[in-house]
Amino acid sequence: MNVVITGATGLVGSALVSFLTSGGHRVTRMVRTAAQAPPPGVTDSVWSPNSGRLDRSVLDGTEAVVHLAGENIAAGRWTSAQKARIRDSRVKGTRVLCEAIAGVSNPPRVLVSASAIGWYGNRGDEVLTEASAVGTGFLADVCRDWEAEVEPAEKRGVRVVRLRIGVVLSPRGGALAKMLTPFKLGVGGVIGSGRQYMSWISLDDLVGAIHHALVTESLRGPVNAVSPHAVTHREFTKMLGRVLSRPTVFPMPAGVARVLFGEMAEEIILSSARVLPGQLQASGFRFLQPELEGALRHLLGR
DSSP letter for each residue of 79-95: -HHHHHHHHHHHHHHHH
Q: Which residues contact 251 (CB under 8 A, 6 or more apart)?
A: 189, 190, 191, 194
Average pLDDT, the chain: 95
248-301 pLDDT, tens digit per residue, is: 989 998 998 888 888 888 899 999 999 999 999 999 999 999 999 999 999 999
Q: How far apart are CA 56 and CA 24, in angstroms?
A: 24
Mean pLDDT of 76-87: 92
**Res. 37: pLDDT tops 90:** no
**Res. 35: pLDDT tops 80:** no
**Band (34; pLDDT cuts 50, 70, 90):** confident
Asked if 150 contacts 160 with a C-beta cutoff of 8 angstroms, the reply is yes
For the chain, percent of residues with pLDDT exceeding 90 = 85
Give the H/E segment covering residue 22. Answer: helix 11-22
User: Residue 287's pLDDT is what?
Assistant: 98
**Res. 39: pLDDT tops 90:** no
User: Residue 186's pLDDT is what?
Assistant: 92
User: Residue 295's pLDDT is what?
Assistant: 97
**Band (51; pLDDT cuts 50, 70, 90):** confident
Topology at the third CATH level for domain 2-167+200-225+276-287 = Rossmann fold (3.40.50)
Give the H/E segment covering residue 201. Answer: strand 200-202
**Res. 106: pLDDT tops 80:** yes
Q: How far apart are CA 224 and CA 52, in angstroms?
A: 29
**Res. 224: pLDDT tops 90:** yes
> Which pTM value belongs to this model?
0.96
User: Residue 38's pLDDT is what?
Assistant: 86
Q: How far apart are CA 275 and CA 301, in angstroms?
A: 27
Question: In this predicted structure, which of 32-41, 83-92, 245-254 has the lowest mean pLDDT?
Answer: 32-41
**Res. 147: pLDDT tops 90:** yes
